Amino acid sequence: MANAPSDETPPQPLLEAEIERDALPEPAEPVHVEAADRRDQELTLAVVPSEVPEDPSLDDPSLYFNRELSWIDFNSRVLFQAMDERVPLLERVRFVAITANNLDEFYRKRIGGLKRQLGAGVRALSPDGRTPREQLDLSTDAALAMQRELSRLWEDELRPDLAEAGVVVREYDDLEDEEQAALDRIFRETIFPILTPLAVDSGHPFPFISNLSLSLAVTLRHPTRGTEHFARLKVPTGRGRFLEVEGTDHHVVAVEDVIANNAEELFRGMEVEGVYAFRVTRNASVDRSEEEADDLLAMISEELRERKFSEVVRLEVEHHMPERVRELLCRELNLTESEDVVEVDGLLDLSGLFSLADTDRPDLKDLPWEPVVPIRLRHMVLEDDEDMFSVIRKGDLLVHHPYESFAATTQRFIEEAAEDPKVLAIKLTLYRTSQDSPIVRALIRAAEAGKQVAALVELKARFDEENNIEWAQKLERTGAHVAYGLVGLKTHAKTTLVVREEAGGLKTYAHLGTGNYNPSTARFYTDFGLFTCREDIGEDLVGLFHFLTGYAPEQEYQSLAVAPRDLRPRFVELIRREIEHAKAGRKGRIIAKMNALDDVGIIQELYKASQAGVRVDLIIRGHTRMRPGVPGVSENVRIVSIVGRFLEHSRIYYFHNGGDPDILIGSADWMRRNLDDRVEVVLPVEDETARARLKRTLKFCLDDNRQAWDLGPDGRYSLRWPAEDEPVRAFHDTLMHRAKRRTEEDDAAWSF
């Protein structure tokens, strides 16, 4: 048994030389010129930044990319997955839906936020030197260009390719008579009873149009009086966007197409002149002062109600909608600017393609991935371990989702704690979770069993407020202690503390991670989690939860860095230490992996590090304000973005420290909101096996030649392509292969 493999089989400590920048491949020129040219022409949407003056100050606007345009560039990289013919066809369709969904959020949050700034008369310039009006104009132009490209890609490429492969999205008018009759029957039996036509006239005011709902504008004429009328139909999409054509395999018709062609059934006695699809997007930025709120739960509930009625920031219409109908919609929705109206040539609401991407055609999808169980947890019984607590006592355990199972690790840890009679208390921060959350169900069972359960439920997690309110109320009804966060701060930390009664007294066990306690997203978000029973971490978490649930603002932490008080100073200290090493002639080295980088203070510290000779590699999935490769400022900075089948969500920070590196993981990006406006937790990883694994992960990111995009000083991202004889190194494939290989080798080692 002693020869059983560990989590890394074989256990090979990673030498520092393995992650030296000099040992990594430099970004190569794209090999497939045609694909590269197409990407440059159709996906580079951001405005080229201004020319950098000689010897600029570090707050010069030319040294910063615009946040909004950088976000559009990120969504362009997502869109490219839908364009890339190396990606299976239905996965390309899924990326169209993801891109469209992202664009919806961009309008709600970013465009909506800029409009609110304009309405409030804000004149402050962004770090790149632009007014809110300039940013809104540039962002709107870029978003419109993306919408056009998205529609073109779906209508002209993917839809025909799907049809050729046997998944056919058809038009109602092109169906055979018997096929139309079958769909008409489905309409009468399953759709007609739930539709509610809403007339608009002197006795019927224009109806409220809910956010992101798909609607039909119906123009009518009275057959004898000749009067014109208008009505609105909300398209029910809760049971799917498409209806299957009877007698076919994977032939479908959009549900709004079927409704439009049966509209006369809803308006008997009237002539239906036209039916036109439209869709409304509303501002998500509804801000209230927590300081003035007596009840945070009531405040958030009211804010959710207001958001449903907030101002419209986008009206999408079919390209053939008559001008008089557009004018009516604009007038009733209080839209005055043409930029708010988006004409769509083709299917509206391409996020509806998620259901089509789920079509049962495995040959058109990625090979399925089933997360593995970490080896130490697979051998609990064979090693005479009774539970996860026994495993953790033997040493820290680092897990990486979705390569390793969330259910068999994080979820199991909380469920075992809920059932274990020796566990006295469970405390957890809950930012986002799934609709039917096994985590919350476990906490409810623990509270019902008489354990002390404390849950910090973040009611201000955008777009999850309603879900979190429901879970908070269920927990409270079982006797759990529920706190709703701190005034003025979101609690974004990912932490669980378990207090257990053991022979030597009370012992603490902890899980700290980079991602949410959400088993659904854990299947496609990449995140790290660390299980530990280190006393320093346990004591720090006890203090953290006292801070979160009570009045204890002056906590002192031994190991954890906690925002908003300690985290920014800790990162600044670590960056400046690398500068001192470089100035002393030693190697300075920083590698950081995160979702986004927009904090000007941290960027300026990194510019200073580059100027001092520190080599900086940043792996940033999303947007960044930092401009790499500027002579005299950031020539030692490289920025890479990895986009693929999984969403990169983990945060890892590496500081070389003269050969004695600090490696940290946690919930915070280098964004102002994470450092100043949220409760975040970042912890140093001390276990050597875990540290080696994190360093390997960073190396695989920087080695990637398939999914990695290099950001140039001109703001353009270039996709790496393997050279003709070079093996493909795709980050996600590499980690799936390693996880599967460890499992297979473990099975072989344990076979008798």
Domain count along the chain: 3
Geometric angle at alpha carbon 365, from 359 and 366, rounded to 5°: 145
Q: Which pLDDT value is given to residue 478?
A: 83
> In 415-532, which ranges are E strands?
423-430, 452-457, 481-483, 490-491, 495-502, 505-513, 525-532
Residue 741 forms part of a structural domain:
yes
Q: What is the CATH number of the domain that holds 497?
A: 3.30.870.10
Instruction: Provide φ and ψ at 344, rounded to 5°.
Output: -115, 125
* Predicted TM-score (pTM) above 0.85: yes
Is residue 715 located within the same domain as residue 611? yes
121 domain-assigned: no
Residue 306 lies in a domain: no
- Edge-to-edge, what's the strand order for the sheet holding 198-200? 198-200, 228-234, 214-221, 271-282, 312-318, 341-344
CA distance 246 to 185: 11
Question: Pairing between strand 525-532 and 647-648?
Answer: parallel
- Burial class of 24 by CB neighbour count within 10 A (0 to 12, 13 to 18, 19+): middle
Same domain, residue pair 623 and 719: yes
331 in the same domain as 442:
no
Contact 619, 651 (CB under 8 A): no
Q: How does strand 589-594 pair with strand 708-711?
A: unpaired
Q: Is residue 191 part of a domain?
A: yes
> Cβ(90)–Cβ(98) under 8 Å?
no
Rounded distance between C-alpha atoms, residue 132 and residue 115, angstroms: 8
Residues 501 and 525 grouped into a single domain: yes
Domain boundary among 524, 557, 590: 557
pLDDT, tens digit (0-9, with 9 covering 90-100), for 666-724: 999 999 999 999 999 999 999 999 999 999 999 999 999 999 999 999 998 999 989 88
In a shared domain, residues 199 and 243: yes
* Domain end among 526, 557, 588: 557
Which stretches of the chain drop beneath a pLDDT of 50?
1-45, 286-309, 461-464, 752
For helices 600-611 and 567-583, the axis angle rounded to 10 degrees is 10
For residues 553 and 567, membership in a common domain is answered with no
Within-domain flag for 218: yes
**Two structure tokens written together for 118:** 């304009």
Predicted pLDDT of residue 310? 66
3-state secondary structure string across 204-228: ECCCCCCCCCEEEEEEEECCCCCCE
d(CA 246, CA 224): 38
Q: Which string of b and e fits 338-367 if b means at least 16 CB within 10 Å? A: ebbbbbbeebbbbbbbbebbebebeebbee
Residues in the chain: 752
Q: Can you tell me whether residue 727 is helix, strand or coil?
A: coil
Active-site choice (492, 623, 649, 656): 492
Asked if the bond preceding 223 is cis, omega within 30° of 0, the reply is no
CB 43 within 8 A of CB 76: yes
Last residue of a domain, one of 305, 335, 363: 363
Q: What integer pLDDT is reported at residue 383 of this predicted model?
A: 61
Contacts of 398 (CB under 8 A, 6+ apart): 7, 528, 529, 530, 531, 685, 687, 689, 690, 693, 694
The sheet that has 251-254: what strands, in order across it? 168-170, 251-254, 242-244
Residue 333 sits at φ, ψ, to 5 deg, of -95, 5
Asked if omega into 127 is within 30° of 0 (cis), the reply is no
Using alpha carbons, list the distances in angstroms from residue 80 to 75, 93, 183, 537, 701.
9, 11, 35, 42, 19
The β-bridge partners of 499 are 425, 508
Asked if residue 568 and residue 553 are part of one domain, the reply reads: no
Dihedral angle of Cα 517, 520, 524, 528, to the nearest 10 degrees: 20
**82 located within any domain:** no
Whether 623 is catalytic is: no
Same domain, yes or no: 518 and 634 = no
Q: What is the 3-state secondary structure (H, E, C) of 520-534?
A: CHHHCEEEEEEEECC
Looking at residue 491, what is its pLDDT?
Answer: 87
Together in a domain, 467 and 407: yes
Which residues have a Cβ under 8 Å from the Cβ of 361 and sit 6 or more positions away? 90, 165, 166, 167, 250
Alpha-carbon dihedral of residues 568, 574, 579, 581, nearest 10 degrees? 170
Residues contacting residue 588 through CB under 8 Å, at least 6 positions apart: 578, 579, 581, 582, 609, 612, 613, 614, 615, 656
**Rounded CA gap, 464 and 629, in Å?**
39
CA nearest neighbour of 266 among 218, 210, 214, 203? 218
Task: Find residue 527's DSSP bridge partners.
Answer: 401
Q: Is residue 141 part of a domain?
A: no
Residue 100 lies in a domain: no
State the residue range of the domain holding 332: 171-293+313-363
Question: Which two tokens mark 517?
Answer: 């306690």
Q: Are residues 404 and 516 in the same domain?
A: yes
The CATH number covering residue 261 comes to 3.30.1840.10
> In this structure, are residues 466 and 478 in contact, taking their beta carbons and an 8 Å threshold?
no
Contact partners, residue 505, CB within 8 Å, separation at least 6 = none
Domain co-membership, 744 together with 616: yes
Q: Are residues 687 and 719 in the same domain?
A: yes
Confidence at residue 224, expressed as pLDDT on a 0 to 100 scale: 87
Q: What secondary structure does DSSP assign to 405-428, as a single string?
A: -STTTHHHHHHHHHH-TTEEEEEE
